[in-house]
Structure 1
Amino acid sequence: MREVNPFVEWIVKIAQPCNLACDYCYVYELRDRTWRHKPAVMANGTADQLARRIAEHARRHALSRVRVVLHGGEPLLAGPARVEHFLEVLNQELRGTASCDISVQSNVTLLNPSWMALFRRHGVTVGVSLDGSREANDRHRRARNGRSSYDSVRRGLELLRRPENKALFAGLLCTVDIANPPVQVYEALLAHEPRAVDFLLPHATWEHPPPGHDPDRTPYANWLLAVFERWYTAPRQKTTRIRLFENLMDLALGGHVRSESTGLGDTDFLVVESDGTIELSDSLKATRNGAAATGVDIFAHDFDTVARHPVVADARRGGLETLADVCRDCEVVRLCGGGLRAHRFHPRNGFANPSVYCADLRVLTTRIRDRVLADAPARLRSAS
């Protein structure tokens, strides 16, 4: 039986619903509708089985560290008792085998001192979704009744920034909207003192291109490059990390990055839904109904079996051979990696295409590569 490349990260849909109605949401607002048939929250028995499967996989592959991300919907809708049960069982199953980095990705509108006490007990870090200032955020991230979500998010962030909680504040996740001024958005995010900021391109395909799609003017590259310039030239650049930029810089200097949106490495994560079914990256939900489904689950299958499943193995695999012909010959393919798999989709031929953001990615990666390589000698001298 062939060796498998182990998983090291599990994205756990501990709650399916969300209390916001973000209009770009890949779970509820794009092409997929499978969420309608899944339990609202993960049952304790399902959580127990998942913890056993993760520990089994860690032992089998001698993993010293694994990662678990509590996700949704909005994961806090699962309630403190259910979340703490899973954390306790996971810790118990992994004891003596592997340490576990646990995080939650939340809109923090429901965050309160009781939640933070639970997170402190279990060392759970909190990533927060926010798109900038009140105006920028409320373009898309509103409550179901249409009201602004900004004040509720701000209160959650203020709680996270308290001295006793600040170490658990993992950072901010921002979806790019080219209608919002890039540097203003970045500075609004910086005002919350995050350790890291992640910028995501809105999920789009060749069938449903992103807002303002223009391969000639590359508005998404221009937006991100404005932020890059502000970040890269800041006196204390490294106080706030931006994973996209850091990954591209590492790759430009010959490093290796494992990411689904940059580079050519295999991916190392799985999504586990609230019913225990196993899915591929959530971003695939932007392509067609059921696109992330695998047909396997944690009750009938261990994670080695999952890794060998053709659908999973194909989706995880990186490398040039997985890309469209036009991508294989591109000078920046080792940086962009062909872009996110979902963004390559066309109903005519599936994923055998460059990214719908291809022109933007070419400009973005070329500019960052050239800047970093030009500055590398001086930076090395100053560091020595």
Structure 2
Amino acid sequence: MVGTPIRQVLLKVHSRCNLACDYCYVYQHVDQTWRDRPRTMSRSVVELAATRIAEHARRHGLGRLTVIFHGGEPLLAGRELLAYAARAVRAAVPVTTAVDLRIQTNGVLLDEAFLDLFGEHGIRVGISLDGPAAANDRHRIFAGGQGSHGLVAQALDRLRQERHRRLYGGILCTVNLENDPIEVYRHLLTFDPPRMDFLLPHGNWSAPPPGRRTDTADAPYAEWLIQIFDEWYATRPQRTGVRLFESLIDLLLGGRSGSEVVGLSPSDLITVETDGAIEQGDALKTTEEGMAATGLHVASSTFDEAIAQPSFQARQAGLAGLAATCRACPLVRVCGGGLYAHRYRAANGFDNPSVYCRDLTRLIRHIHARLSTELSALRTREPG
């Protein structure tokens, strides 16, 4: 075995976007290789990617894998190509492997025709939204400056209808310290998502995220998230799960993480770009140009060849792959060093704690305290 098998494949079916979000990790950071790639994945590359996915599933006896249509904005690829890609993947993968097809979109083009197509092919839909109009439209805008909230809200209203509800994957929200966290959370709940997740904006020690100074002891992102956690936790059982919070609770109780942001589980994600290049996750594009590249292509290389590379192995090394500071930390099995890309520093690469170390520490300790208080209360109620 060369490494942990791939169980999540990101297919970049389109390399451009119809929004101009100023925090976008694809277009607004140091790696600009998207400029040299075809706008749309060709059918021949789709077929090659499907072949590689199927080959990997057979070799490793995978019972389940996830394929995510991504971009850019994947809906720009059009209904015909998305249908073709869905058919190609399902036809190639062995019947012993269940394929979970998903698409992550900004939602502005999501109409009934797309939803009917996704229903036909069993493609679940995730939509990005950063809160109510004033919050979302700070950054999620069109090139001309117009906000996207109205169109995204319409898309979510379509998706939550009973006839499409089974396709509803959830909402992704990027944390913005300028926005009121409770207002954001409650607004997202109005769309009745089955799940949501809050993403820390990409940054590192050489290019810190907004509002995050590396020379102070503050933890502004933790304080933002804690306000939402407390409201979410107080209203259990929730119809809406929050992936980051659920992952931290599971880890604190001895389980596994459902997020690559926390925990020590090895990365099992691979990306296929529109030109067929095999790459690591996009977050690495916020560190240095070419950091996500492997030099491999679906026409000539397998996924096993990719995960055998040292750069992939570093993301699958678990505890041994962390900085000494992290390995000595009592929270390491919960934090896991944070997202790999957030550990980067130009002087020494990824041999550092996360740039969000203080935020993760504060958030984990807060959740641990809430769990401990509840468990203590339960013990006192147990009969003697």
Q: TM-score, normalised by structure 2?
A: 0.96
Q: Which amino acid aligns with 1:233?
A: A
Given that 1:55 and 1:97 are in contact with CA atoms closer than 8 Å, whether structure 2 keeps it comes out as: no
Partners of 1:92 and 1:183 in 2: CA distance: 45
Given that 1:126 and 1:171 are in contact with CA atoms closer than 8 Å, whether structure 2 keeps it comes out as: yes
Residue 235 of structure 1: how far off its partner (Å): 4.0
Alpha-carbon distance change, 189 to 120 in structure 1, aligned in 2, over 3 angstroms: same
Partners of 1:286 and 1:36 in 2: CA distance: 15
Given that 1:13 and 1:75 are in contact with CA atoms closer than 8 Å, whether structure 2 keeps it comes out as: yes
Residue 196 of structure 1: how far off its partner (Å): 0.5
Alpha-carbon distance change, 379 to 162 in structure 1, aligned in 2, over 3 angstroms: farther
For residue 344 of structure 2, what is the aligned residue in structure 1?
Answer: 345
Residue 7 of structure 1: how far off its partner (Å): 0.7
1:331 is paired with a residue whose SS is coil
Q: Which amino acid aligns with 2:39?
A: A
For residue 32 of structure 2, what is the aligned residue in structure 1?
Answer: 33
Alpha-carbon distance change, 106 to 326 in structure 1, aligned in 2, over 3 angstroms: same
Partners of 1:259 and 1:133 in 2: CA distance: 25
Q: Which amino acid aligns with 1:115?
A: F
1:103 is paired with a residue whose SS is strand
Partners of 1:242 and 1:336 in 2: CA distance: 17
Residue 378 of structure 1: how far off its partner (Å): 5.0
RMSD in angstroms over aligned alpha carbons? 1.7
Residue 203 of structure 1: how far off its partner (Å): 0.2
Partners of 1:380 and 1:155 in 2: CA distance: 47
For residue 147 of structure 1, what is the aligned residue in structure 2?
Answer: 146
Percent of residue pairs bearing the same amino acid type:
44
Deviates more, 1:122-131 or 1:316-325: 316-325
Partners of 1:380 and 1:254 in 2: CA distance: 19
Q: TM-score, normalised by structure 1?
A: 0.96
Given that 1:258 and 1:265 are in contact with CA atoms closer than 8 Å, whether structure 2 keeps it comes out as: no
Q: After TM superposition, which residue ranges in structure 1, 4 or more long, deviate above 4 angstroms?
A: 377-383
Residue 110 of structure 1: how far off its partner (Å): 0.5
Q: Which amino acid aligns with 1:165?
A: H
2:9 is paired with a residue whose SS is strand
How many residues are treated as equivalent by the alignment? 381
2:104 is paired with a residue whose SS is strand
For residue 189 of structure 1, what is the aligned residue in structure 2?
Answer: 188
For residue 179 of structure 2, what is the aligned residue in structure 1?
Answer: 180
Unaligned runs of 5+ in 2: none
Alpha-carbon distance change, 320 to 172 in structure 1, aligned in 2, over 3 angstroms: same
Given that 1:16 and 1:74 are in contact with CA atoms closer than 8 Å, whether structure 2 keeps it comes out as: yes
For residue 374 of structure 1, what is the aligned residue in structure 2?
Answer: 373
For residue 117 of structure 1, what is the aligned residue in structure 2?
Answer: 116
Deviation sequence 1:301-338 (CA, Å, 0-9, x none): 11222221222222x31422211111111121111111
Unaligned runs of 5+ in 1: none
Deviation sequence 1:130-161 (CA, Å, 0-9, x none): 00000000011001111011111111111111
Residue 78 of structure 1: how far off its partner (Å): 0.3
Deviates more, 1:362-371 or 1:15-24: 362-371
Alpha-carbon distance change, 121 to 382 in structure 1, aligned in 2, over 3 angstroms: farther
Given that 1:10 and 1:68 are in contact with CA atoms closer than 8 Å, whether structure 2 keeps it comes out as: yes
Deviation sequence 1:327-384 (CA, Å, 0-9, x none): 111121111111111111111111111111111111111111222133235569999x
Partners of 2:174 and 2:380 in 1: CA distance: 36
Deviates more, 1:304-313 or 1:36-45: 304-313
1:40 is paired with a residue whose SS is coil
Residue 257 of structure 1: how far off its partner (Å): 2.2
Given that 2:243 and 2:259 are in contact with CA atoms closer than 8 Å, whether structure 1 keeps it comes out as: no
Q: Which amino acid aligns with 1:218?
A: A
For residue 276 of structure 1, what is the aligned residue in structure 2?
Answer: 276
Residue 258 of structure 1: how far off its partner (Å): 5.4
Partners of 1:12 and 1:351 in 2: CA distance: 26
Partners of 2:356 and 2:17 in 1: CA distance: 28
Partners of 2:163 and 2:379 in 1: CA distance: 37
- 1:131 lines up with 2:169 in the alignment: no
- 1:73 lines up with 2:76 in the alignment: no
- 1:308 lines up with 2:308 in the alignment: yes
Partners of 2:121 and 2:378 in 1: CA distance: 39
Partners of 2:269 and 2:294 in 1: CA distance: 14
- 1:296 lines up with 2:296 in the alignment: yes
For residue 365 of structure 1, what is the aligned residue in structure 2?
Answer: 364
Partners of 1:207 and 1:113 in 2: CA distance: 44
Residue 217 of structure 1: how far off its partner (Å): 2.5
1:180 is paired with a residue whose SS is coil
1:270 is paired with a residue whose SS is strand
1:326 is paired with a residue whose SS is helix
Alpha-carbon distance change, 308 to 258 in structure 1, aligned in 2, over 3 angstroms: farther
Given that 1:259 and 1:267 are in contact with CA atoms closer than 8 Å, whether structure 2 keeps it comes out as: no
Equivalences for residues 202-351 of structure 1 within 5 A: 202-214=201-213, 215-237=216-238, 239-257=239-257, 259-314=259-314, 316-351=315-350
Q: Which amino acid aligns with 1:271?
A: T
